[in-house]
Amino acid sequence: MPDPSTIKRARNDEREGKSPSTQAGEFVREEFHHIRAGKHGARSARQAIAIGLSKARRAGVKLPPPSAGRASSKVRRQAAQDHERGHSGNGQVSGRRSHAVLGALKREGHAAASARAISRQTHAAARRRTSSERSTAAHKAVLTKGRAGLSAMGPKAARTRMASPAKKDRQKVSTH
């Protein structure tokens, strides 16, 4: 069961008009906190994200199941089941199954919530996105951030470029 504060943050995101994936991000964040706190483990960052998304769907976040090309039929079926449970009002949970799942997760490691594991997962996910998907996301960001948000992003992007190790390596090569 998600923490009440996580549900509250997700509902707040919904009121602010943020996307379902942003709302679900609160549940994913909570999962990483649980792993770091030693509540349970996970095999990978991807599994931790999947657990968070499942909790979000069951909590009523309007996050649709992935489309046919995005995930296996088993994953899509489970996501649809989670989504249905979150919107049907049937909150019954099998205690026996719940304890079994938690027991299995407790035997897993805690490296899935490390900064390195999350970074690797993020980079892998970004590589899978096409140019047009990235472009669409950028256009949407322009529409949702507003003028003040965009003004703040310029200097941040410049700092990121200057902090990049690849950039520093290129500068060393060009100066010699």
pLDDT in tens, 13-62: 999 888 899 999 999 999 999 999 999 999 999 999 999 999 999 999 99
Q: Alpha carbon of 48 to those of 6, 25, 54, 81, 131: distances in Å? A: 16, 11, 10, 19, 27
pTM for the full model?
0.76
C-beta of residue 121 within 8 angstroms of C-beta of residue 45? yes
Of the given ranges (41-50, 76-85, 91-100, 138-147), which has the lowest mean pLDDT?
138-147
CA distance 82 to 20: 14
